[in-house]
Amino acid sequence: MFIQAIRRYCANHGIAVDVRSSGWLIAMRRDGTHRFAFGYDIGLNSAIAHRLANDKSATAEALALADVPCVPHHLFLNPSMGVHVAGAHWREAMLALLAQHPQGVVVKPNEGTSGRAVFKATNRDELDRAVTEVFSSSLGLVIAPYVEIEDEVRVILLDCRPMIVYRKERPSVVGDGEHTLRELATRAGHDSQLRELTAHEVNAIVPTGEQRILNWRHNLDAGARPVLLEDGEVSAACANLAIDAANAIGITFASIDVVRVEGEWRVLEINSGVMMEALAKLHPELVQATYDAALDRVFEN
């Protein structure tokens, strides 16, 4: 979708395009102007804004310094890099965080995306397992207090202008007092969500009218669905928070995820690559218009 959107823009603006490295690198050329897209990054963000956004702990620290409400993320470096890098007391510090948050913690790669290797831990065993798993493929991990997310909203911003605002609706089923969670989920096409649930959970009959959310994460790649928010109080509150977050790290084009916890909105993460594959399936024109506006900025001078 991303490549297609760039190709379409370039075709309409007399820009030559070369797609290399299986689509990871896109070279765009018009007269003497050369521009690149790399991954989902179209090159509008400064190097430092991109680095801060890609790093969950740096984002949380920068937002906290600017008094922008956010979910705190504590950084731990991989002990395989040596004690002078990771420190000697990382495990004690992790256990202290777990002890401070009886509702649990979330362990994830510091530079992760798409919900990969994101784990919830409520005891030492779960924490150890999550930490081993994340450190097996990442140089840094972050630990955040687990928060009960009532709603997660994504704001796509260009120059502090909200281009798209949508909520992420997690896959769920509603009980009928007759069927098990497994049966309801299978019927709704959500069988892949059942893997992480216990046998007890999937084999229980769901009472009539009760909603069961099948995945605690809001990742679109993991089955959540984007639902556009209409203009109104909620969308304005999310957009304003996202603008404050963008200003705090100086980012131009970004997708910013905000979450409602106990009625208050806070920033969860900032992505400097704007990926809209799932949204494009439902609203292709909106996605094209957003990339068009961003590419206008890329080629404006």
Ligand X SMILES: Nc1ncnc2c1ncn2[C@@H]1O[C@H](COP(=O)(O)OP(=O)(O)O)[C@@H](O)[C@H]1O
Interacting residues with ligand X (CB under 6 A): 71, 106, 108, 112-116, 118, 144-147, 149, 152, 217-219, 257, 268-269
The most distant pair of C-alpha atoms in the chain lies apart, rounded to whole Å, by 68
Do 173 and 211 touch, CB atoms closer than 8 A? Answer: yes
Neighbours of 293 (CB within 10 A): 15
Query: Nearer to ligand X by C-beta: 121 or 239?
Result: 121
Q: How far apart are CA 283 and CA 45, in angstroms?
A: 25
Residue 83 CB, nearest approach to ligand X (Å): 28
Query: Nearer to ligand X by C-beta: 149 or 286?
Result: 149
Nearest 5°: phi and psi at 278? -65, -40
Residue 82 exposed, middle or buried by CB count within 10 Å (0-12, 13-18, 19+): exposed
Query: Nearer to ligand X by C-beta: 15 or 62?
Result: 62
Question: What DSSP element (H or E) covers 163?
Answer: strand 161-169
Which structure tokens are listed for 155? 């704001």
Amino acid at 92: E
Q: How far apart are CA 286 and CA 110, in angstroms?
A: 31
Residue 215 CB, nearest approach to ligand X (Å): 8
Do 179 and 205 touch, CB atoms closer than 8 A? Answer: yes
Distances from the Cα of 293 to the Cα of 45, 110, 157, angstroms: 15, 30, 11
Do 144 and 73 touch, CB atoms closer than 8 A? Answer: yes
Which structure tokens are listed for 98? 């777990």
Residue 259 CB, nearest approach to ligand X (Å): 7
Query: Nearer to ligand X by C-beta: 5 or 153?
Result: 153
Residue 190 CB, nearest approach to ligand X (Å): 16
Query: Nearer to ligand X by C-beta: 106 or 279?
Result: 106
Residue 251 CB, nearest approach to ligand X (Å): 16
The distance from CA 136 to its chain's CA centroid, rounded to whole angstroms, is 21
Query: Nearer to ligand X by C-beta: 145 or 175?
Result: 145
Residue 140 CB, nearest approach to ligand X (Å): 13
Query: Nearer to ligand X by C-beta: 121 or 295?
Result: 121
Residue 275 CB, nearest approach to ligand X (Å): 10
